[in-house]
Amino acid sequence: MISIKSAKQIQKMRESCKLTKELFLILEDKVRPGVTTMELDTIAYNFYKKHGATPNFLNYNGFPGTICASVNDEVVHGIPSRHRVLKEGDIISIDMGCILDGWHSDAARTFAVGKISDEAQRLIDATRESFFKGIEVIKHGVKLGDVSWAIQNYLESGGYGVVRDLVGHGVGRALHEEPEVPNFGRAGRGVRLAAGMTLAIEPMVTMGDYHVNVLDDDWTVVTRDGSLAAHYENTVAVTRDGVEILTL
């Protein structure tokens, strides 16, 4: 069942999302060669706790980290580790969120580690831009498939792969709510968006084929062909006239 939030409830979500937005600014400054993904995870954990929030990924279905730290060909759900040291030229996707006063936030960014290749930067830029192509479509009454198609069309026109095995989702009192929000689809299909819906829209994009595998840790999703992957996500609220991006 899709949850429609009141103005008061969306204000609560803004407060949760504000913390995640602020934390990304801190982590972006910390991402550099020589840093471990566990160091980034510790910074995130301490930040949320300092502000009275609970990391919502930590122990979610057994996940052991505050952040998902996915490097290079890792699409999502990379487990932070003291043994994973970032190197010059890597790219890292950080996915995270928190619970504040019972309300969730969820967002992701892909960062360059030092100087990266031009093609890696174009992948990061295209992934971010595809999110905004979807956002341009959103308003009360629009079909969800229109949003999905806008994201897919932009990315595939640029020669990128759009991951099919993982999708965005509703978010609110729970981290994952209805509806599912694919980054691919057909215009004019799917549920009709309504003011008060809150969604996590999150293009997951590859430089090659869109097929993925899950590693033996049962969490880390990697591209099957070893190509680079990027991830960009925000929690948004549908309004009568458009959309409010809560984590930006």
User: What does the alpha-carbon distance between residue 178 and residue 198 come to, in Å, rounded to a whole number?
Assistant: 10
For residue 228, give the DSSP letter.
-
Average pLDDT, the chain: 98
User: What does the alpha-carbon distance between residue 166 and residue 204 come to, in Å, rounded to a whole number?
Assistant: 8
* Per-residue pLDDT at 24: 98
What is the band of 205 on the pLDDT scale with cuts at 50, 70, 90?
A: very high
* Per-residue pLDDT at 191: 96
pLDDT digits 0-9 by tens, 85-102: 999 999 999 999 999 999
Determine the average pLDDT of the residues in 141-170. Answer: 98
Residue-wise burial string across 123-143, b where 16 or more C-beta atoms lie within 10 A, e elsewhere: bbebbbebbbbbbebbebebb
User: What does the alpha-carbon distance between residue 121 and residue 100 come to, in Å, rounded to a whole number?
Assistant: 33
User: What does the alpha-carbon distance between residue 185 and residue 183 come to, in Å, rounded to a whole number?
Assistant: 7
Q: What percent of the chain has pLDDT over 70?
A: 100
**In this structure, how many other beta carbons lie within 10 angstroms of the beta carbon of residue 183?**
27
3-state secondary structure of 117: coil
**In this structure, how many other beta carbons lie within 10 angstroms of the beta carbon of residue 27?**
21
* Per-residue pLDDT at 166: 98
The domain segmentation of the chain, as residue ranges, is 7-245
118-137 and 144-157 helices cross at what angle (nearest 10)?
A: 160
* Per-residue pLDDT at 2: 95
pLDDT digits 0-9 by tens, 114-123: 999 999 999 9
201 CA to centre of own chain: 7
pLDDT digits 0-9 by tens, 49-88: 999 999 999 999 999 999 999 999 999 999 999 999 999 9
User: What does the alpha-carbon distance between residue 6 and residue 96 come to, in Å, rounded to a whole number?
Assistant: 24
Report the predicted TM-score, pTM, of the whole model to 2 decimal places.
Answer: 0.97
For the segment(s) 7-245, the CATH number from 3.90.230.10, 1.10.1740.10, 3.40.50.300, 3.40.50.720 is: 3.90.230.10
Determine the average pLDDT of the residues in 188-200. Answer: 97
Q: What percent of the chain has pLDDT over 90?
A: 99
| Contact assessment for residue 236 and residue 201, using Cβ atoms and an 8 Å cutoff | yes
